[in-house]
Structure 1
């Protein structure tokens, strides 16, 4: 489209403070959206810049004069787990210093008054190729007296902190400024309330006519905001930041059976987004290319590698906040991945200096081909048969199977990533291993299984009863125990994942298999006296809720310089060890009623374990508690 085609005369001429005229970038479009909705969408685009460019990871808000958007500093202050004594090496080009942010001089526009100023930093997905860019964003309202508050015009202006077109990053249009002009129609009709146009301030060397790429960029920006304006207002309304509305930002549910599992309630509840994403970017630069190029499994590597890199980034930031240093973490006990699968997560964490090991019911080719002798002894082929089950049937029943009883060294951090049969066992193992207390853990539920290892669909009623009632109850699993399968392709292809994630990641159905499994895992932990938190994991999976146990207890005792080793757990519960064991026995009796009791459930578990270790491996499934 040429510069003069379909161009409507703008309601206001935009003139910069230095007298340089702003140019209209593309044709104006008629919209049916009130001013309030335009401002809501503007807030959304200010914070979620990735909606306009796939090359961008996020936008860090450094300053907002209105306080409507939570700044980087406010997120860190609100964070429940920010690294105290350790700081991950910043990825190439990523700057953490908020104090370096400066503000551009606000342009002056005839007929408009400056209402609000925001300074943000654009973070690219590949900082090794493009540098972050700071922008000053200004929001203006028309100042003409004859317009009402609901019929005012608005102007949103973006000024990049860049002095030349040559220095502009690839992901940003090569212009000195960019503006969205919302012009109200008076009086509004039933089909149109305003016109919307995009304007730009060129560099001295900006060619005329505009390059095709720049023209397409302007058209794409206009299409995106128009698409968002057509959505219901509540779908893009930006919530009041937690630090302003006094909301409880903790992720600890008082009633796990009713706690909402929507992204808005779980996102960044423990760690701020930017700290995890910065570490993820660093890990991706270090390991992704090598892991993907040497991948030998039949599954598509992209999903699996990037998922494990994301989880590793979360754990590194989580442990940094809990323990303060790798030295402290490593001297306490380290970590164990009780369903390590291909071993990539264990490998990355150990390469980054965090002590730990993992085990799985079946050895993977990845262990030898990708890691070789470097991981010898750190990845082990074992089946987890929890100690209560071993006690119920006797050790002789498991001859021929390399068993781990699920009891770990005190202080060990348990990682349970899509561990399937071991998911609901995770808090039980944490309580079993702690003696007078319980171990910290991260569980990311996936497919739903009962404590006997069989498939089971939990209900909200069972979740509530696990907290309130210790009496026996019947199994209320779905017909024939059929569960929802994970909405992923068999190969784990990222394209298929993105399509499924649009529908599944919201977890809005409180009665879904995944929602009930997540709640049940947390409820069992609460029943055993474990301090539980829920958080949304930023991973390429529809099964992306993390259940975190005893994080705050570790931090409380670490801050008080209490020891968590040498037999002094530091995570002591009100119950003595014997009382905790009794709680576990009561819990198992109640949960195993529908499967014939504890002994029958134990035998079922062993049968599945033998089949798994002796048969064809199928990834992270049945009883794979691979320790190493």
Structure 2
């Protein structure tokens, strides 16, 4: 089979039940009448069918926004028969029992489901998996959740004809519409498109370059996110800014969730107290010096963290409308302040950044001009770590660009920026890392390593295209004096260039 440069066009066709070029599945149970729904050309060989449907089994959330994820209950080879019903001419070879978890458990129930692979019992393709049957498992009297099609069985078939086709068939529940405008047909269309894409990906050995959940496990994050979202979703209806509340509220809930788990993982053993009435995170480890949210903007991230019992502050150049509408504890934690990192070159006690206690954790969520200063300040203040989610590309005293980036390596940025270094940054596949944003992230990672931070990168599960994060929570072993000297050298270079200007606070500074 040839491999053209791009995936062949997805060309689905509804099955004509009057013209049966390929007969439907036949179950040994007479009541189970299989109904062919639609098919399309299979642009990959039968041998890759199992690999393609493996993605369907383990990642149902890619096809439904109502599904959070699936959890594997059991994974067993089959002996030739299966409790979900034997199909004539096919034998079951593998069964995965999964549990589908809804994204909104208060509205939809979870559902267990058998995912059974079948292979032909005879002929040229005997023993090669060619059919996947999904079987919902319901207790007597229970009904299917909304996110599941109204079917008793749903099957994905590879038919090795000339040309080969992939087809979806179902044993449909009574009175379920099956016309081209029906929900069942639309769902099947989306599933078939996904299977077609996965098959092509298996053929071309496609590998997703961006990796999520590199630092915090997906299941742990998603489970806590659902809880935190329920506690703070009311903020959508109380939004005081002109920006989109759906994006900003849920984005900051996601970042807060990530930080809570990151701190739990970073600052000692868990202190969960199952018998306590407080939420478990009230007893989790946290940064010894609290947190400082640099460029906190609307203050929402600071508000969520403070509301959940974390000590910290947020600073920005101006107060936002939202600030006055938060709780008293949050209002006390938000401050109008302009940072001047060049003050570190003065021989004065280390009080250059107010609200910075020893071992504070720094946060830079789309902090713009402050973004490159995070690892510098974290180094000079002996912070317990930092999380930076860069958005607009800024260097120390001007907009970042390819042409100007060399100017900011005059401290050598000591890192070895080679293919292996870049690969570890989880940048994705933006034009071979030649886009300005990719170059900026490489530069930030080099800067962090030069200043003694062990680099960790993650792609956060938040509703933003700028969801790449660089994390510093461990120090390299060369020596703090070396890293401090490097940070001061960077600041001295900035001072000598004379272009850096501290922005003035807007409004009544110190009023919050």
Superposition pairs for residues 355-374 of structure 1, below 5 Å?
355-369=311-325, 371-374=326-329
Query: Which deviations, in whole Å up to 9, do the C-alpha atoms of 1:387-429 show, x marking residues without a partner?
Result: xx0255899xxxxxxx963782222111111111111111111
Q: How much does 1:599 deviate? A: 6.2
**Structure 2 residue corresponding to 1:340, chosen from 296, 300, 304:** 296
**Residues 405 and 598 of structure 1: CA distance in aligned 2, closer, same or farther (over 3 Å):** farther
Count of aligned pairs between the two proteins: 471
> Equivalents in 2 of 1:165, 1:212: separation in Å?
24
Give the secondary-structure state (helix, strand or coil) at the position aligned to 2:37. Answer: coil
Residue 370 of structure 2 aligns with which residue?
A: 422
* CA-CA distance at 1:124 after TM superposition: 1.6
| Structure 1 residue 15 displacement after superposition | 0.8
Q: Could you give the per-residue CA deviations for residues 242-297 of structure 1, whole angstroms, max 9, x where no partner exists?
A: xxxxxxxxxxxxxxxxxxxx963531111121211222211221111x21111111
Say whether the 8 Å CA contact 2:263–2:287 is kept in structure 1: no
Deviations 1:53-101 (A, max 9, x none): 23222223344448xxxxxxxxxxxxxxxxxxxxxxxxxxxxxxxxxxx
| Aligned-partner Cα distance in 2 for 1:378–1:417 | 17
Higher helix fraction (1 or 2)? 1
Task: Tell me which residue corresponds to 2:105.
Answer: 127
Structure 1 distance, partners of 2:41, 2:482, is 69
Q: CA offset at residue 605 of structure 1? A: 2.3
CA-atom RMSD, angstroms? 3.7
SS in 2 for 1:199: strand
TM-score computed with the length of structure 1 as normaliser: 0.67
Q: TM-score normalized by structure 2?
A: 0.81
Gaps of 5+ in 1: 67-103, 241-261, 396-402, 472-503, 554-570, 618-623
Residues 120 and 135, structure 1, Cα contact 8 Å, conserved in 2: yes
Map Cα deviations across residues 198-236 of structure 1 (whole Å, 9 max, x no partner): 122x5xxx425x336998233224322443455485646
Alignment partners' CA distance in 2, 1:467 and 1:586? 7
Asked if structure 2 preserves the Cα contact closer than 8 Å seen for 1:339 and 1:359, the reply is yes
Equivalent of residue 545 in structure 1, options 465, 468, 474 = 468
Which residue of structure 1 lines up, in the alignment, with residue 277 of structure 2?
Answer: none
Structure 1 residue 49: Cα displacement = 1.2
Query: Relative contact order (C-alpha < 8 Å, sep 6+): which is higher?
Result: 1
Q: Does 1:527 align with 2:472?
A: no
| CA 1:582–1:377: 2 relative to 1, 3 Å | same
Aligned partner of residue 110 in structure 1, secondary structure? coil
Q: Does 1:575 align with 2:479?
A: yes
| Residue in structure 2 matched with residue 281 of structure 1 by the alignment | 226
1:172-251 equivalences in 2 (<5 Å): 172-185=148-161, 188=162, 192-200=163-171, 202=172, 206-208=173-175, 210-211=176-177, 216-228=182-194, 230-231=196-197, 233=199, 235=201
Deviation at 1:328, TM superposition (A): 6.2
1:303 paired residue among 240, 247, 252:
247
Partner Cα separation in structure 1 for residue 210 and residue 297 of structure 2 = 30
**Residue 45 of structure 2 is aligned to residue 34 of structure 1:** yes
1:605 counterpart residue number? 501
- Structure 1 residue 113 displacement after superposition: 2.2
Point out the structure with the larger strand share: 2
The answer for unaligned runs of 5 or more in structure 2 is 1-12, 272-281, 416-426
